[in-house]
Amino acid sequence: MFASIRRYRATEPEEVRRRVEVGFLPILRKQPGFVSYTLVHAGNGTMVSITTFDTREGAERSNRMAAEWIVENIAPLVQGRPDITQGEVVAHAA
């Protein structure tokens, strides 16, 4: 399993959350190898998403999809580009 962690600065975190739930999650769920998605509002406009896929390719694809979706759907609500960390999940519990 592989994870992609993206950290954003949002000017309107609640609106970002709403648009992600309605617009991005349905697209992401349809992707081959999708495992999970979590969006965290860490305070002060910081939002962190954690996406997991069965494969590295899926995690990398999710980064490209997220970048495109942000430009098309929430660009005015986020500042700059996200910081991205990606790697193999070595421990997990649900």
Q: In what order do the strands lie in the sheet with 46-53?
A: 34-43, 46-53, 2-9, 83-88
Q: At residue 21, does pLDDT exceed 90?
A: yes
What's the mean pLDDT in 69-92? 95
Q: At residue 83, does pLDDT exceed 90?
A: yes
- Model's pTM, two decimal places? 0.91
39-71 confidence digits (pLDDT tens): 999 999 999 999 999 999 999 999 999 999 999
* Domains annotated on the chain, with CATH: 2-88 (3.30.70.100)
pLDDT exceeding 90 applies to what percent of the chain? 96
**The one-letter amino acid at 5:** I
CA distance 69 to 64: 9
Alpha carbon distances (Å) from 12 to 7, 28, 61, 73, 89: 15, 22, 26, 13, 30
